[in-house]
Amino acid sequence: MVKNKKFDNARKILDGYLEATAKRRTPERYAILKAIYNIDGHFTVDELNKLLENDKFVVSRATLYNTLRLFQKIHLVVRHRLVDKTKYEAALRNDSHSHQICTMCGKVTEVELPKVEEALNESRLRRFKKEGFTLYIYGVCSSCQAKLTRQRTMNEKKNRL
């Protein structure tokens, strides 16, 4: 079940676009849209495909990629190119937000930075109307830091022997 009313808005946007461009209203497009707006946070194409398969709705990878491209074009989905993979998220959920990305394991976490958001929202850009922003902060997560510390300790012990 779709958890929020943003899906209804996304569906209306898709309906309007398909009607205006005389494109077909395929069940695949709507199933993919529904699945996307059921996902909390970021997802890969493989995760989306698995979710659709679990719902007994099988689509080809080409259909998935083409539909995601269409949804990006009409601002229903945002594409994030991260350290070693591409992730997507529903665009109507958040206009502006920040991500911290681990450069070792690729884990992505959304973070709230109210002062940064406030500064960016108050900034005026010349001859440009802001619609939102995404901030990427790269570093090493606590799990990977602990792993590095354990490896370093083991290496030091080996070197002493």
Residue 74 and residue 111 share a domain: no
CA 48, CA 35: separation in Å to the nearest integer?
7
- Same-domain status, 33 and 72: yes
Average pLDDT over residues 89-96: 74
Task: Tell me the whole-structure pTM to 2 decimals.
Answer: 0.71
- Under DSSP, is residue 17 helix (H, G, I), strand (E, B) or coil? helix
**pLDDT above 90 as % of the chain:** 50
Same domain? 155 vs 125 = yes
> Which residues constitute the domain of residue 142?
96-160
- Kindly list the distances between the CA atom of residue 26 and the CA atoms of 63, 83, 123, in Å, as whole numbers in the listed order: 11, 33, 42
Neighbours of 22 (CB within 10 A): 6
Q: Which residue has the tokens 């529903």?
A: 90
* Angle ∠(64,68,69) on CA atoms, nearest 5: 120
Same domain for 32 and 56: yes
Mean pLDDT (the chain) is 88
pLDDT digits (tens, 9 = 90+) for 29-87: 999 999 999 998 889 999 999 999 999 999 999 999 999 999 999 989 989 887 778 98
Tell whether the model's pLDDT for residue 99 goes beyond 90.
no
Regarding whether 65 and 2 lie in a shared domain, the answer is yes
3-state class of 146 per DSSP? helix
Q: What's the pLDDT at 2?
A: 47
For the chain, what is the domain count?
A: 2
**Tokens 């590095």 label which residue?**
148
